[in-house]
Amino acid sequence: MAAEFALTILTSAAVGAILTWLLLFLTKSWISERLKNAIKSEYDQKLETFKAELKAESDVAIENLKSRLRIATTEHQVRFSRLHETRAEVIAETYALLQDLYEKVADYVKIFEPGGDRTKEERRRDVISALDALRAYYPKKKIFLPKKTAINIRNIDSELVQAINQFLYGVELSKRDESQQIWGEVFERVNGKINIAIAELEDEFRELLGEKANLAPQGTHDETARP
């Protein structure tokens, strides 16, 4: 009887211990799971908060960059517009002076001299005046033109000066028999090679001003400039 009672006590104690261990295990697992869930939830919240803050900062940075780009673009457009306006002024004035010089040279070396026309000396003074006007203006402004265009203008200027000197010393001041031949050569040079070069320069100027050049056949420079 006593043995049975002792066995019952031992069995009850063992069952109680097992139940206690099981309860502790379940409690520990539950607490552990709750902790993991709480940590994960807090991590997810912080992660979402960080993502939101990062996106907000990124959006602000992108908007600032866009704003700076818009400002830079506007400033560039303003500078380009002013440069284009200045270039247009330089082109207009340079062309006017160069055209005036060409017309004066063409008049100076013309072969047909009607009665009552001005003398070669008078016409030469007009040429020198036009040349001085071009050289007083253009060298200070050539920086606004492309290098190729500046070279072409320099070449035309050089050709005109050579024609002037050739006519002055070979025809106007010359008493030689070959002066008539030189006269014809200078006339052809001015109304041929130089005339074509100026016509080509006109097309360059039009392109610089934004106009598609409708290239005309060579030698079709304004006929009013010819004697």
Give the pLDDT confidence of 164-219 residue by residue, as tens digits: 999 999 999 988 878 999 999 999 999 999 999 999 999 999 999 987 544 444 44
How deeply is 204 buried, as exposed, middle or buried, from its count of CB atoms within 10 A (0-12, 13-18, 19+)? middle
Give the CA distances from residue 196 to residues 75, 87, 221, in Å, rounded to whole numbers and listed in that order: 40, 23, 7
Model pTM score: 0.63
Rg (CA), the chain: 48
3-class DSSP state for residue 111?
coil
- Stretch 58-74: mean pLDDT, rounded? 71
Total Cβ atoms within 10 A of residue 162 = 13
The model's confidence at residue 75, banded by pLDDT at 50, 70 and 90, is: low
